[in-house]
Structure 1
């Protein structure tokens, strides 16, 4: 059978699985949406600190606690939730696409949702999911980042926006369509290794926990091992991609949208010139602290939602 025929056959099988309810399909979208909402609710305050640490120099914030105290003192506790509307609305679409693509990429490699993929196949599926997910993640991240750093804009007297819709309208009016896809290639560069590590870390930990069960069935794991596995996935995500995330944040908060793809190297050079290697890890500790509960909730919500819907994980 030719490669094209094999691919078509696998796609056909996938559609049949989805229609019969044994595969992911719409269940991935529903479970991914719920997981994304849980992630934002738990992790956004620390994400705000992380982004501000990445973009502002050491002369603005001495460290995560200084950033936290200044934010709460000057903007109130709700200042930690700036930019939350963008990921809260967009995360449903982003996580749905992410988990669906991941599920589909696994099935393409194994031939059936019923076959357990190897960790190598998990890594490839995660990388594919990250690449596709960038299409939606890039504008959502752009709006989130630019809203989160309005602390500096308010101090400098620059324009500020009350939410993602006015900001998105402003960016399109100023720069056209590329204004809303600002930093797309930087997002792609981060999402591929990040999600490859994200899913691999989660699956590795989940299978380790399942080894303690009599039948080794990962679908029988309880909430605690699922959350611990999610935390491993989250730490893996940031460890694999953090310097790229710093570059992405800097690019998306620049004065004008960059062109081409070479701007990633330019941004990296600028960060190194200003702060040295440590500039690529500003806010890393905050990200790790944040991701432990956020990723735990994300994966546990997804897995339990899929079980409730009768889908395969």
Structure 2
């Protein structure tokens, strides 16, 4: 995903928390490894104030000035935290679906899939927000020893977390942007789960097991649905999480207005292209890794 982490739909049968955690880690790590470079470009474009002339220029400048691995800045935070984030999301989505079913095993209509996804997104925000906070702070750092925004240069996620808590406390430091994350995740996971489910139902006949290609295709559709449903809100979240001081008041609306006043409508969609391109392989890799891991666990009765 975000995620921002992008996650997969839990299988119809009840799964254990341990299986969700292991499969979530595998899917999440694949998503981070595949998608991190384009995610870094997306974040830098969202926060840009004239440095870059588009996504390609951002990539070229980043590699030229900081080396290729600068595209993987901030990767440690989501790579470590993605398992817990995904496990929480899977469990919340499964429970939301169960509550919406008229009887066990019912195939929900797409509008209920959207409601369940939104509910899971709200729960997921509690862990996704601090993970993304640390990621964005590190991605926004230009150069190898100085931050381009006047902020202290962080050596890694632990250093960043300690400084944020020391300067602003837990709520305004590590969990800054929580409300923006919640507001983003409500439409995002509605779009994600509907995109995945609608595509999967179209491609896979009832009672059949989805192939790897079908999973990747449905996952890509879900990833595109995620970003299409929420992108301006993601720009707001990135802006708020990277600013020096914590936001005040009803900052989501005020930040939207500020971005629009400064950059017009296009400012709300900076980095949209890289996000949509990234969503295809990243979500496809996530779905495939998660599903294949779950199948291996179930077939071998590992948990």
Pair 1:48-2:30 in alignment: no
Contact preservation (8 Å) 2:151, 2:244:
no
The secondary structure found in structure 1 opposite 2:147 is helix
Q: Tell me whether 1:177 sits opposite 2:167 in the alignment.
A: no
Q: Is 1:103 equivalent to 2:94 in the alignment? A: yes
From 139, 145, 149, the equivalent of 2:136 is: 145
Structure 1 residue 154 and structure 2 residue 147: aligned?
Answer: yes
Name the larger-Rg structure: 1
Q: Are 1:198 and 2:187 matched, yes or no?
A: no
Alpha-carbon displacement from aligned partner over 1:81-119 (angstroms, at most 9, x marks no partner): 000001101111111111121112111222665332222
Cα deviation code 1:144-163 (max 9, x no counterpart): 01100001753466421111
How far apart, in 2, do the equivalents of 1:155 and 1:188 lie? 28
Structure 1 distance, partners of 2:150, 2:13, is 56
Name the one with the larger helix percent: 1
Q: How big is the alpha-carbon RMSD for the aligned residues of Structure 1 and Structure 2?
A: 1.7
Structure 1 residue 24 displacement after superposition: 1.9
Q: 1:280 to 1:306 in 2, by over 3 A?
A: same
- Do the aligned partners of 2:76 and 2:157 also contact (CA within 8 Å) in 1? yes
Determine if the alignment matches structure 1 residue 217 to structure 2 residue 207: yes
1:165 corresponds to which of 141, 158, 165: 158
Q: Cα deviations across residues 166-189 of structure 1 (Å, max 9, x unaligned)?
A: 000000000111211101100001
Task: With the length of structure 2 as denominator, give the TM-score of the two structures.
Answer: 0.89
Q: In 1, are the aligned partners of 2:89 and 2:120 still within 8 Å (CA)? A: yes
Greater displacement, 104-113 / 276-285: 104-113
Q: Please tell me whether the aligned partners of residues 106 and 113 of structure 1 are also in contact (alpha carbons under 8 angstroms).
A: no
Paired residue secondary structure (1:300): helix
Matched, 1:226 2:215: yes
TM superposition score normalised by structure 1? 0.87
Change (3 A) 1:273 1:145: same
Conserved? CA contact 1:198–1:237, under 8 Å: yes
Aligned equivalents of 1:112 and 1:66: distance in 2? 53
**What is the 5 A alignment of 1:66-77?**
66-77=57-68
CA distance in 1, matches of 2:80, 2:97: 27
The total of aligned residue pairs comes to 284
1:238 CA displacement: 0.4
Match of 1:257 among 241, 246, 267: 246
Q: Distance in 2 between matches of 1:237 and 1:85?
A: 23
1:44-80 deviation digits (Å, cap 9, x = unpaired) = 01000000000012x2000000000000000000100
Please state if 1:297 is matched with 2:297. no
Residue 310 of structure 1 corresponds to: 298
1:249-270 residue CA offsets vs partner (Å, 9 max, x unmatched): 001111111234x011111111
Change over 3 Å in CA distance of 1:53–1:156 after alignment to 2: closer
| Runs of 5+ unmatched residues, structure 2 | 1-11
1-structure distance, mates of 2:151, 2:163: 13
How far 1:164 sits from its partner (Å)?
0.5
